[in-house]
A and B are shown apart, each in its own frame.
Chain A
Amino acid sequence: MEPRLNTSRSEDRQLAEACLAQDPVALEELRRLHLSPLRGILTNRGANVTEAEDLIGGLWADCTVGRGERGPLLEKFNGKCSLHNWLATVATHLLYDQLRRKKFHAEITPRSPEERVEEVLERLGALMENPSDSDLTRLLLASLEQAFGGCPPEEHLMIRLLYFHGISQRDLCRMWRWSEPKISRRLKATMEEIKQNTLSHIAQADPDLKLQWEDFEELCHTQQLAFL
């Protein structure tokens, strides 16, 4: 997956370090290049404008200043993915948490923007404590497992051999006595089914969360490389 912005990962790490050192130029760059674009991403993924602003406000408040015993958010950035994708992943976890809270606690007491950002910060703290067990991680995993489990047996086995056990496509050709183009066609068709089934499972599980396949792939990729 390519980072959406034209910045290299080493530049991203330098930017994060400069922000942690409270460099005002770096902080402005962080806000302008990395946080402001989250507004569009979050609204595309199901946030309303106020929710997106609150989430960005929470991230901005937490990026360089720790709270209690917890260090600043940017200290968790390891540079293995782009800063843009990393922030978008953190924000999407918070968004999904927000959407679920909204669903299960329908009545919303009017609150000030400061109180709403404070709540985002509390939820961010909880996410940072156990990111692998977040609601969004469980949803991504369940959707993918369900789609993967729905593959026809032969394609299911091909995928496992190729991508989990390092068997080459040439070996698969020998085992199935099929040509490489035939194996490729079957795998390609299976991938399309996995995509559709995964997104369908997410839509059924939570219609408020709007993910395209590219979003799903980016979240899976960022999460395994560098999530918190």
Chain B
Amino acid sequence: MNETFQILAGFLDKFSDDVVGHAREDIPADLRARLRDFAQGTLDDAERARLCLSMKENPQWIPALAMEARTPRGERDAAR
């Protein structure tokens, strides 16, 4: 399944204009705080679902969430 997803993602990445969101600076402070909460796993189910819907409608916010979610390398290595 992983390989299939990677193939599809690679195809979209190469040929589609609008799949990969691009980071933008103008994310409101309250949204950035919610993204941080989401990344840390502290949103409740309903709030997380609402935010997922917003992210689907506003994919330009996804890179900011990804930045918040990315585990620091040292911490990730220690967990292996």
Closest to A187 in B: B1
Question: Which residues of chain A have C-beta atoms less than 8 A from B53's C-beta?
Answer: 153
Question: Which residues of chain B have C-beta atoms less than 8 A from A25's C-beta?
Answer: none
Checking B15, B55, B76 against A153 with a beta-carbon cut-off of 8 angstroms, the contacting residue is B55
How far, in angstroms, from A32 to B52 measured CA to CA in the complex? Answer: 52
Q: How many B residues, CB 8 Å from partner?
A: 39
How far, in angstroms, from A102 to B15 measured CA to CA in the complex? Answer: 27
B7 at the interface (CB under 8 A from A): yes
A167–B66 touching, CB < 8 Å: yes
The answer to whether A141 and B16 touch (CB under 8 A), given A153-B49, A154-B49, A157-B62, is: yes
A1-52 with Cβ < 8 A to chain B:
1
Question: Which residues of chain A have C-beta atoms less than 8 A from B71's C-beta?
Answer: 168, 170-171
Checking A163, A175, A191, A217 against B69 with a beta-carbon cut-off of 8 angstroms, the contacting residue is A175
B13 at the interface (CB under 8 A from A): yes
How far, in angstroms, from A87 to B48 measured CA to CA in the complex? Answer: 46
How far, in angstroms, from A160 to B61 measured CA to CA in the complex? Answer: 12
B1-29 with Cβ < 8 A to chain A:
1, 3-16, 18-21
Using a CB–CB distance below 8 Å, which chain A residues touch chain B? 1, 132, 137, 140-141, 144-145, 148, 153-154, 156-157, 159-168, 170-171, 174-177, 187-188, 191, 194, 217, 220-221, 223-224
Top 3 nearest A-B pairs by Cβ distance?
A165-B66, A163-B9, A220-B11
